[in-house]
Structure formats: structure tokens, C-alpha cells
């Protein structure tokens, strides 16, 4: 082949891009015979689309600003990939509920699934039979009636948590993560967190990768999958080397504890748990069907740990931050706990008698939603919606943050105020429940929400019963200001902050120390 000059390469590149552009235009006209307009959105340019407008940091806040300009449905393209952002409950319900058959798929997540190995997680799997098999197994063990049998484990881990806070309150973030890892490890694998410190460390690393790569478009390979072929040694391919590290650790998270339970079952030392229940009726005939079924069950357990050990951690950490910032809210909650419980620690059945605590939990979900944009859905086919054309393959995101900070429904939404959910001392059913957005949408709603909700209640009720949470003091004895700033990512957490966690009284201290006797 003769040598091509720079000019020749530019001409060939222009022809290729022009052909790609024309092909896309013809395809869109064919799928949109009524020539409907696309939803409104920021200005785009040929080839790159709205790349320069595409939010790179805390996108949910930028999209919230866009809703005030373009309305509650926004569309834009970046390098040929279409994005549809929904900013009201009406839009979310129309798309994810009424048209769920077309909007329950996931986009091709090249960096996350294909390069980092998150494809074992059914939250990221494409909609279809493989996803259904995982979801069905998970539902069997985490539906509302099933989670009741795990309450004893959750109480045990929660009371260990309040004891750990007494010994080293400054390590409260570590203790929060450890407590939720402990309860879900015992539930899924019959194992104690203290015996699996390295495993918990691996999951923290995988979560860091998830935060970085969780949103489509975070890495250019999501837009240009051909970049997968770039060699690891190539200059600028640091992203590919990072993906390999994350993939290796993901493999450990997905497989290691399941394999250990199998060994324990052979030795007769395994404790009853979800993994043993899944293994007991699994045929061990080395057939392709049995291997495939084991893969599904193995991945389902790993899914449970990933969800249970991380998402509620964000909610509880935000709760600690809110209590330090809003002492009046804390006092109201403590007064209710004292009135209802007297001198004992809470149990799961106390919840119906604690409306202010229930309102506080709702406000915690609303105030700082753990996944403000959730995981992207994808349109399986082109769609005509409300006079707009939605192309096939569009990435669709519901902005949970906007839904839960809409001043039409939540007065002064930036303020942490559980009273907004109460009327005459009881929960007010007329107030929008944060669950409409806090656990995802439609058929892809989080199936572990019932387990997470019980853990959240037990943690909040125990902590407020026995502790005061206060800001730290400066050198002059004045309380330091805490600003409610959150990290960026698919799942967000409060930025680093310090607080004082002290027993409310000597009686409370005795309750903490004696809590092991009550489990």
C-alpha cells in the first residue's frame, strides 16, 4: 500500500466521518417517519454533539439547572450517543413504569462491564432472560416476607456497632462500613466481618472504581468501544491498566467467599446462610447447565454483598452528618425514643410506634439520595413520546436528586426537616415519599431495599437512643461548622467531616456495654 500523506489521511478521515454522519441521519429519518422533534436540550455540534456541555462533575446538579431552562425532559448527544434526562415524577412514571417494556434495558457499559468485570452484577446487566434469572434468585431471599428472618443478625451487628463507637468514636466511618459488611456477610455467607478484613478492603477498592466509571461517558471507551483494542502499554492508556486492576479485584469479590462456603460444606463446618441454601439443591454433575446455574447463584450472592455493604453506608453517614448539623432534630428523635422505649434498646417491632424516627429516615433518603442519577436505562426501540422522538439506544436517566429537591413538594429542600413528613404527630401520606426515586425506577428498582431499610432503622434508632452526635470543637472550644458537601460518582457519600459521638448519660453507657447480653 502506498504511503499516505497527512492531507490524504485528513481527507479519508473526513470521508469516514461524513459517511457515519449521513448513515446516522438516514437511519434516524427511517425510524422517525413522522419527523417528530427531539426533546429540547443544549446546543450540539456536528460529530461531537454537546460534548462541551456534557457535565463532568456532579451531573445531577447541572441537569437540575437545565430543567429550569429546557423543561423536565432534556435530550442531547455526545459523539453520536443520545442521552435523555428526566426531571419530574410524571416523566419518570411515564417512561419507566407505563413504558417499562421499552425502557428497562441497560446500555452497553464497556468500561464497567467488559473491562472492569462488573457484568456479574445484575444491576448492570442488560434486560433479558439472564437478568431475570439473577433477579428471581435474589427476590426469593430478599422479598418483604423473607427479610424478617435476618432481623436477629441485623440487630446483633447494630449492637456491636454501638459498642465499637464507644471504644473509638473518631473511627465512626470505618465502624459504619464494618457494621453493614458484617450483617450482610453473615446473611449471605455465614461469615463474620472480623475474619474477612481483606475481603472488605477489596470491596472498597471495587466501589472506588464504580464511583469513577459508573456513569456512561465517564471514560471515552464507552463512546468508542474500539478503544478496547488499544494496548495496555500505549501512551495515555492508564485507564486500561486501572481497569485490569479493578477487574482482578472484582473477580475476588465475586468468587472467593462462595468458593469458601463450598469448602466448608464439604467439611461440614458451614453455617446456615443464603449461600448454603443455594448450594444444597444445586446439582453437582459437572454439566454445562449446572455450571451455568451455579454462576447465576454465585453472582446473586455477590450482588447481595455489593448492595448491602455499600449503599446503606452512604445513608447512615449522611445521617451522622445531619444530626451534627441539626441538633434540634436529634433532640426530638431522642425524646420520642425515650418516651416509647424507656430504658431499653430498640427492636424492629418498635418502628410502628416511632413516627418521628420514621420521618427522619424518609428525610435522610430525600436530603442526600445515595444515587442521585441512578444507573442509566436504555430505550430498546425508537419511541414517540408526548410529541417527541426518542431514538433507539438512548441512555435514559431519572434525576432522583431533582425529584427529591423539588420546592413544589418539599419546602426549603436543602434543609433537613423530618417534620415535613408529619401531620398531627403521625406520618402524612399526602407528602411525596422519597421511595419514588431513592431506590431506582420501574423494573430495575433495587430489590434489596427491604433489607436495607430494616438495617437503616435499627442503626438510627440505636445510635440516637444512646449517643449524642455533635460537631467537633476548635482550639477555643467553639463548635466547628460542618458543610453538607457530597462526593461525586454513581453512589455518593458525605465529604470527610469530623464529629463528636458521646454517650447521652451513664445509663446510656450501661445500655451500650450490656447490649451484648440482649442479642
Cα–Cα distance between 307 and 281 in angstroms, integer? Answer: 25
36 DSSP assignment: P
Q: Hey, what's the cell of 113?
A: 462491564
Pseudo-torsion of CA 376, 408, 363, 215, nearest 10°?
20
Containing 513, the helix (H) or strand (E) segment is helix 506-518
In terms of DSSP H, where are the helices of 32-92?
59-70, 89-92
- Find the length of the chain: 519
What angle, rounded to 10 degrees, do the helices at 151-167 and 506-518 form?
A: 140
Q: Which residues are known binding-site members?
A: 446
Range list of β-strands (E), 68-131 = 73-78, 81-86
Q: Which residues are known binding-site members for heme?
A: 446
Instruction: Give the side-chain half-sphere CA count within 13 A for 121.
Output: 27
| DSSP secondary structure, 308-345, as one string | HTTHHHHHHHHHHHHHHH-HHHHHHHHHHHHHHHTTS-
Nearest Cα to 38, choosing from 69, 92, 102, 84?
Answer: 84
Residues β-bridged to residue 479: 473
* Location of C-alpha cell 467439611: 267
Pseudo-torsion of CA 385, 58, 228, 293, nearest 10°?
-70
SS (H, E, C) 335-365: HHHHHHHCCCCCCHHHHHHCHHHHHHHHHHH
Terminal alpha carbon distance of the chain = 78
**3-class secondary-structure state, position 384:** strand
* β-pair type (388-390, 383-385): antiparallel
Cα–Cα distance between 411 and 402 in angstroms, integer? Answer: 13
SS (H, E, C) 239-266: HHHHHHHHHHHHHHHHHHHHHHHHHHHH
Amino acid at each position: 500500500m502506498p504511503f499516505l500523506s497527512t492531507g490524504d489521511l485528513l481527507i479519508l478521515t473526513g470521508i469516514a466521518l461524513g459517511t457515519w454522519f449521513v448513515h446516522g441521519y438516514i437511519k434516524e429519518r427511517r425510524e422517525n417517519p413522522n419527523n417528530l422533534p427531539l426533546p429540547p436540550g443544549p446546543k450540539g455540534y456536528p460529530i461531537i454533539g454537546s460534548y462541551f456541555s456534557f457535565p463532568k462533575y456532579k451531573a445531577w446538579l447541572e441537569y437540575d439547572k437545565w430543567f429550569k431552562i429546557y423543561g423536565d425532559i432534556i435530550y442531547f448527544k455526545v459523539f453520536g450517543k443520545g442521552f435523555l434526562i428526566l426531571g419530574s415524577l410524571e416523566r419518570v412514571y411515564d417512561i419507566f413504569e407505563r413504558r417499562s417494556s421499552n425502557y428497562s434495558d441497560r446500555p452497553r457499559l464497556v468500561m464497567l462491564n467488559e473491562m472492569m468485570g462488573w457484568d456479574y452484577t445484575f444491576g448492570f446487566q442488560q434486560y433479558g432472560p439472564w437478568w431475570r434469572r439473577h433477579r428471581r434468585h435474589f427476590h426469593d431471599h430478599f422479598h418483604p416476607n423473607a427479610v424478617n428472618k435476618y432481623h436477629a443478625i441485623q440487630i446483633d451487628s447494630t449492637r456491636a456497632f454501638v459498642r465499637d463507637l464507644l471504644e473509638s468514636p473518631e473511627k465512626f466511618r470505618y465502624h459504619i462500613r464494618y457494621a453493614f459488611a458484617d450483617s450482610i456477610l453473615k446473611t449471605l455467607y455465614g461469615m463474620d466481618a472480623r475474619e474477612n478484613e481483606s475481603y472488605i478492603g477489596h470491596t472498597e477498592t471495587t466501589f472506588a472504581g464504580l464511583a469513577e466509571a459508573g456513569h456512561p461517558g465517564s471514560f471515552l471507551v464507552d463512546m468508542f468501544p474500539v478503544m478496547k483494542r488499544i494496548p495496555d502499554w500505549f501512551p495515555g492508556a492508564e485507564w486500561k491498566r486501572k481497569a485490569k486492576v479493578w477487574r482482578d479485584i472484582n473477580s475476588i469479590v465475586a468468587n472467593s467467599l462462595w468458593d469458601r462456603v463450598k469448602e466448608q460444606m464439604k467439611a461440614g463446618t458451614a453455617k446456615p446462610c443464603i449461600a448454603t441454601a443455594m448450594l444444597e439443591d444445586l446439582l453437582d454433575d459437572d454439566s454445562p447447565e449446572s455450571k451455568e446455574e451455579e454462576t447465576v447463584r454465585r453472582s446473586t450472592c455477590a450482588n447481595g454483598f455489593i448492595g448491602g455493604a455499600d449503599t446503606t453506608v452512604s445513608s447512615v453517614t449522611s445521617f451522622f452528618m445531619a444530626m451534627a448539623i441539626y441538633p434540634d432534630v436529634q433532640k426530638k428523635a431522642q425524646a420520642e425514643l425515650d418516651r416509647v422505649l424507656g430504658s431499653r434498646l430498640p427492636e424492629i417491632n418498635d418502628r410502628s410506634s416511632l413516627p418521628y424516627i420514621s420521618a427522619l429516615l424518609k428525610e435522610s433518603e430525600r436530603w442526600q439520595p445515595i444515587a442521585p442519577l441512578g444507573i442509566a436505562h436504555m430505550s430498546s426501540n425508537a419511541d414517540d413520546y408526548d410529541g417527541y422522538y426518542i431514538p433507539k439506544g438512548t441512555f435514559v436517566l431519572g434525576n432522583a436528586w431533582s425529584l427529591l429537591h423539588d420546592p413544589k413538594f418539599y419546602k426549603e429542600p436543602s434543609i433537613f426537616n423530618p417534620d415535613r413528613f408529619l401531620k398531627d404527630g403521625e406520618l402524612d401520606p399526602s407528602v411525596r415519599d422519597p421511595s419514588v426515586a431513592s431506590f431506582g425506577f420501574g423494573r430495575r428498582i433495587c430489590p434489596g431495599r427491604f433489607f436495607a431499610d430494616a438495617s437503616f432503622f435499627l442503626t438510627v434508632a440505636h445510635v440516637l437512643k444512646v449517643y449524642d452526635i455533635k460537631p467537633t470543637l476548635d482550639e477555643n472550644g467553639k463548635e466547628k461548622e460542618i458543610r453538607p458537601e457530597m462526593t461525586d460518582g454513581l453512589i455518593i457519600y458525605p465529604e470527610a467531616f469530623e464529629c463528636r459521638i458521646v454517650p447521652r448519660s451513664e445509663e446510656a453507657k450501661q445500655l451500650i456495654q450490656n447490649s451484648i447480653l440482649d442479642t
